[in-house]
Structure formats: C-alpha cells, structure tokens
Amino acid sequence: MADKKQNKKQNKNYDEDYNPRFRKQRKKVCVLCSDKNFVLDYKNPEQLRKFINDKGKILPRRTTGACAKHQRDITTAIKRARHIALLPYAQN
C-alpha cells in the first residue's frame, strides 16, 4: 500500500520534468534595450550582420529577441544597408 502511493508520486514528478509544457523558458532580452551604448547604424554592416541569416534574410523577432520597436529599427537599418549595397538582398 505504501509502495503504491510512492510510485504515484514519482510518476507525477517524472511528468513535470519531461513534459515540454513545463520546460523552463529563457527570457530573451532586447539587445538594444539592454545595452544603452549600442547605436544601430545602417552604415555599419558588421553590426547588422548579427540580425540576418546566412541567406541574407532578416531574422524574426523570436530569434533576435528584440522588442517590437527595435525590431522595426533593425529592419529599416538592414533595408537601408541593402539599398547602398553594404548588405546582400540574397545569397546563392
């Protein structure tokens, strides 16, 4: 009887540890909000390269972790950089 009760408890712990719904979520913090000295510049392709993938596409907010306001700034900066040929529109 006592054993049965213990097994039930262990199973419950197992579910909480491995059920993806209970997985710990790492809170992403916006790079531009957290770093006050970080000034986004469309004339600096090295800086903008962090926000595009290897195909030259702009990374989504879920990947960059940027807030809505700064993601807009990043997008604008990348598009400006592309226009003056500092960044590619597409690769391969």
Which CA distances in Å does 61 have to 28, 32, 48?
10, 13, 14
**According to the binding rule CB under 5 A, does residue 29 interact with Zn ion?**
no
Q: Which of 42, 45, 48, 70 forms a contact with Zn ion (CB under 5 A)?
A: 70
Specify the residue, 33 or 84, whose C-beta has the smaller distance to Zn ion: 33
Contacts made by residues 87-90, CB under 8 angstroms, sequence distance 24+:
87/45, 87/48, 87/49, 87/52, 87/56, 88/56, 89/56, 90/55, 90/56, 90/57
Q: Which of 30, 40, 59, 86 forms a contact with Zn ion (CB under 5 A)?
A: 30
Closest separation in Å from C-beta 2 to Zn ion: 55
**According to the binding rule CB under 5 A, does residue 40 interact with Zn ion?**
no
Stretch that binds Zn ion, among 9-17, 19-27, 44-52, 59-67 (CB under 5 A): 59-67
